[in-house]
Amino acid sequence: MENFINAWTWNLEDDSDGYQLLQPGVYRAKIRRFEQGEFAGSAKLSACPKAILTLAVETENGPREVVTSLLVHKKLEWKLSQFFRSIGRKKTGEVMQMDWSDLVGLPLKVHITNRTYINRDGEERQCNDVDRFYDYNPDDFPRDPDWLEDTAEADTEEDLPF
């Protein structure tokens, strides 16, 4: 509890928003969080469930969070297959039932691009976008299970870093 009280008086140094636009390229990552959501639909695609994945992406400056969504829709079956191949749960040409359990901590390799969008204030911005998942290959990841150890989140007050 003492550390929690000290949190109210620490010195603030970091003025950044913590966001880092990554250079487009291939990155290793681990799944940090999985959430279920809903896509409201658009002119091109009807409403459907969506999987919201938060990835801890390995960079030269340490892990960086990238959030991506997978729409669970028949028109995007190819992207869902690509994702499940990237985590080793599906083989090319194989029929499989999607299994969304126990995703947190799984390693995968992704291609990240920069996507341009207009924010609520009408300003043009860029964000990281996962545009491809690569087929799982165990040789892409070190034997050390903690190769990207900063992916854990604080679940209790005792786990907080202050």
Cα distance between residue 50 and residue 41, in whole Å: 11
Cβ distance 113 to 96 under 8 Å? no
| pLDDT tens by residue, 107-136 | 999 999 999 999 999 999 999 999 999 999
**What confidence score (pLDDT) does residue 14 get?**
64
Task: Output b/e per residue, 20-49; b: 16+ Cβ within 10 A.
Answer: eebeeeebbbbbbeeeeeebeeeeeeeeee
In this predicted structure, the answer to whether residue 39 has a pLDDT above a threshold of 50 is yes
Q: How confident is the model at residue 155 (pLDDT cuts 50, 70, 90)?
A: very low
For tokens 């969504």, what's the residue?
69
Q: How confident is the model at residue 42 (pLDDT cuts 50, 70, 90)?
A: very high
pTM of the model: 0.78
Task: For residues 17-32, give the mean pLDDT.
Answer: 89
Cα distance between residue 44 and residue 10, in whole Å: 49
> Rounded to a whole number, what is the distance in angstroms from the first to the last CA of the chain?
10
Q: Identify the structural domains of the chain with CATH numbers, from first to last.
A: 19-148 (2.40.50)
The strand pairing partners of 109, in sequence order, are: 28, 134
